[in-house]
Amino acid sequence: MNKLSTSTSPYLLQHAANPVDWHLWNEESLGKAKAENKPIFLSIGYAACHWCHVMAHESFEDESTAAFMNEHFINIKVDREERPDLDAIYMQATVAMTGSGGWPMSVFLTPDLKPFYAGTYFPPVPRYNMPSFKDVLAGISRTWQEQPAEASRVSDEVLGHLQQSLSINTQSNSVFTEEHLGPAVKSLIDSYDWGYGGWGSAPKFPQPMTIEFLLRSALPNDQPDELLKPALHALKAMARGGMYDVVGGGFSRYSVDNFWRVPHFDK
């Protein structure tokens, strides 16, 4: 049993029997990283997260992967439902570095808690256009040992970006007006996937707020059909595929393919 066995979090307890020497986020763990001059691998998730369980089974339960993690990193597990503050901070960093976010969130930090590499789910072998988790671990460890200045440079750039973004958000006096809606609508229509419906590529999310925005925007518009067409096309594409629960009603959380055929298991 690792140090998560003393936790009251259902999510952390799910990882208590992992061969990974997981630590809690506390002064002792953070001090250990500084004392041993090791990078921190911060893994954030929650109990109902499907891909958190997948990565745990594929990587965190694997003895060889765990041995490498234990040797080269201070590994810390955080339940985002217990620590939304940490989740918010490092999600901003993950989005800044990768352009997207999600869980499990996988962030590598310097001992002084500056992020220098981030991602979400990593597979055990290269697939989905992603490197394997073992390759990521090896690359990060090599950089830390052979090019510590590079890790420090990247972490300082990320920190500077986050501080600048926070400053803009807190000091800005700009007001969101109706003038902003036109460009937003145009962007949604221009980026719509008329081949399969929806926005973006697999995994495809229903994006109900986007559809509702287009429906509401169509009401006072001089050309409502232009806005209704993508909204209704998206809804019909989801209804025709496997996303729709014909027995209980409602839609699954997302489709794992581009065609809305294979739903993710939860609604």
The secondary structure of residue 121, as a DSSP letter, is: -
pLDDT tens digits, 11-37: 999 999 999 999 999 999 999 999 999
- Mean pLDDT, the chain, rounded, equals 90
Say whether 106 sits in a helix, a strand or coil.
strand
Report whether pLDDT(170) > 70: no
Are 200 and 152 within one domain? no
E strand or H helix that includes residue 123: none
Are 63 and 78 within one domain? yes
Q: Where a domain ends, among 153, 171, 189?
A: 171
- The pLDDT value given to residue 196: 93
Are 149 and 256 within one domain? no
Are 155 and 219 within one domain? no
pTM score of the predicted model = 0.69
Report whether pLDDT(174) > 70: no
Other beta carbons within 10 Å of 149: 8
Report whether pLDDT(6) > 80: yes
pLDDT tens digits, 61-111: 999 999 999 999 999 999 999 999 999 999 999 998 898 889 999 999 999
Are 199 and 154 within one domain? no
CATH of the domain at 158: 3.40.30.10
Q: Where a domain ends, among 115, 149, 171?
A: 171
- The pLDDT value given to residue 224: 82
Domain count for the chain: 2
Angle at 244 between CA 239 and CA 249, to 5 degrees: 115
Domain of 154 in residue numbering reads as 3-171
